[in-house]
Structure 1
Amino acid sequence: MSADTSLLTLLTTTPLFAVGLTLTAYLIGNGVFQRLKRPSWLPAILIAALLLAGALALMGLPYATYHQGATWLTVLLGPATVALGMPLYQQLPRIVELWRPLAICLPIAATLAAFYSLAIAWLLGSSDTILASLAAKSVTAPIAIGITEQLGGTVALLMGALLITGVATIPCVSLTTRFLRIDDERLIGFALGLNGHAIGTVRAFEISPTAGAFASLGMSLTGIFTAMLLPLAWRLIGMGS
């Protein structure tokens, strides 16, 4: 065993290596994002993910080893999601004004978000495991991980689907709102959060606190709705058997 291999093995025995690598990739990604004048089609998290994947490939470090060290970072996703309740509370009067249309829109949009990806994957002949991994791709990660494990999917594949979905949502919502001439920040934020989970919510907060609050609402309600009904629907159609 070479000295470099021994050093890498020693470093990966502690979670600090994986955590430090993750944070370094994000800081560099955010710096590049700012330098490129914050393009909506290339968020910092995507740059960081590409840098991290490249670093793992160059070091020859298996993803399973990296994931084992960085697992505790995913634990922080739960408290971070709960913390989004503060902007919701601050925008509560505006949310109450729109509760009827939002209540009608949510189940339709959340159902479609799961259906179209499953339909495309099924038509392409994907396995049940892949279908289970894609079903919750529009749900925020802490909830999506639990749903995917319950359905029998792969968390690693889910995380890739979450990243792609969040990144694709931002330009799609931007183009759609321009085409339909929608300038209400509440509707734009809700669409970003409902379809783009945390990545869309970050983009919404860049637009305004109001858009961010409604994105938090859309992300939270989509997660709750999907967690309650998707496993049930999965069993009813016989996918969980």
Structure 2
Amino acid sequence: MSNTINGFLFFGAVISLLGYELGIQLKRKFRSPLFNPLLISILVVMGLLSLFNIKYEVYNQSAKYISYLLTPATICLAVPLYRQMEMLKKHSKAIVAGTITGVVTTMATVLLLAVIFGLNHQEYVTFLPKSITTAIAMGISEEMKGFVTITVASIIITGILGNIIAETICKVFHITEPVAVGIAIGSSAHAIGTTKALELGEIEGAMSGLAIATSGLCTVVFASIFANFH
């Protein structure tokens, strides 16, 4: 089957997008955060690769074109941020404080869980950058001698969980201020969480998009500090 698929240039991209579209339709129909389009897409791709015994390398060869769209898609997050520039200036101190708090809280939680579950240093640093965008996190994990592939997996899982439970968490803790909601989601669940923030509102989406960048920069600084704690 892998040899047959090699003849289809965009096979991987097609099944990935079809899986994502299936997730969107399921979410619209059942209106449940559990039907996360990205999660559904991952499950569809895994199922098809296993069912037809297709090697990951073959799939990735034809799915890599989707990655080329990641940069322009991320840049598009600047549009709602530009529209909320006055809001950004007005709440600049709160935004900076919220982002730093989010990053420090994430790393402190990783440190606590590493101690509880007896992780060694290499395993511990692998999870430190789990809440930021993949491009920055991979560099941090590699520099600290962590397991980069596990870092990427933890980033995806963190983002999907953040997307699923973000709205519920905000309701439980009565977080209603749009700026606070956006910063909380962006600093804890990066770009995947930001898609949920955009669904909640333009301000939430703009602040979450901002938090992706600032959280990445803060993590570069704080990761090297927290790495010495274990």
Normalised-by-shorter TM-score class: 0.7 to 0.9
Q: State percent identity of aligned pairs.
A: 24
How far apart are the structure 2 equivalents of 1:13 and 1:128?
44
In structure 2, what is the Cα distance between the partners aligned to 1:129 and 1:102?
32
C-alpha distance in 2 between matches for 1:127 and 1:71: 33
TM-score in terms of structure 2 length = 0.86
**CA distance in structure 1 between the aligned counterparts of 2:167 and 2:138, rounded to whole angstroms:** 28
Greater relative CO (CA pairs within 8 A, separation 6+) = 2
Q: 162, 165, 168: which one pairs with 2:161? A: 168
How far is the alpha carbon of 1:68 from its aligned partner? 4.3
Contact 1:46 1:163 in 2 (8 A): no
**Residue equivalent to 2:41:** 48
Within a 5 Å distance, the mapping from 1:82-231 to structure 2 comes to 82-170=75-163, 172-230=165-223
Superposed CA deviations along residues 93-133 of structure 1, whole A, max 9, x for unmatched, are: 00111111221222221122133134314532335554343
Q: In structure 1, how many angstroms separate the alpha carbons of the residues matched to 2:217 and 2:186?
A: 13
- In 2, the alpha carbon distance for the partners of 1:124 and 1:145 equals 23
Question: CA offset at residue 31 of structure 1?
Answer: 1.8
RMSD: 2.6
Counterpart of 2:17?
A: 23
Task: State how far apart, in whole Å, the 2-side matches of 1:226 and 1:199 are.
Answer: 18
- Correspondence for 1:59 among 36, 52, 57: 52
Question: Structure 2 unaligned runs (5+)?
Answer: none
Tell me which amino acid in the other structure corresponds to 2:139.
Answer: G
- Length, aligned pairs only: 230
Deviations 1:137-167 (A, max 9, x none): 1002232233333333344423331232123
Conserved 8 A contact 1:29-1:51: no
1:190-237 Cα offsets, whole Å, 9 max, x none, are 21111111121101111111111111111221112213442x336x62
* Alpha-carbon distance in structure 1 between the residues aligned to 2:122 and 2:7: 30
| CA–CA separation in structure 1 for the residues paired with 2:44 and 2:22 | 9
Q: Which moved more, 1:49-58 or 1:120-129?
A: 120-129
Counterpart amino acid of residue 89 in structure 2: V
Gaps of 5+ in 1: none
Deviates more, 1:139-148 or 1:24-33: 139-148
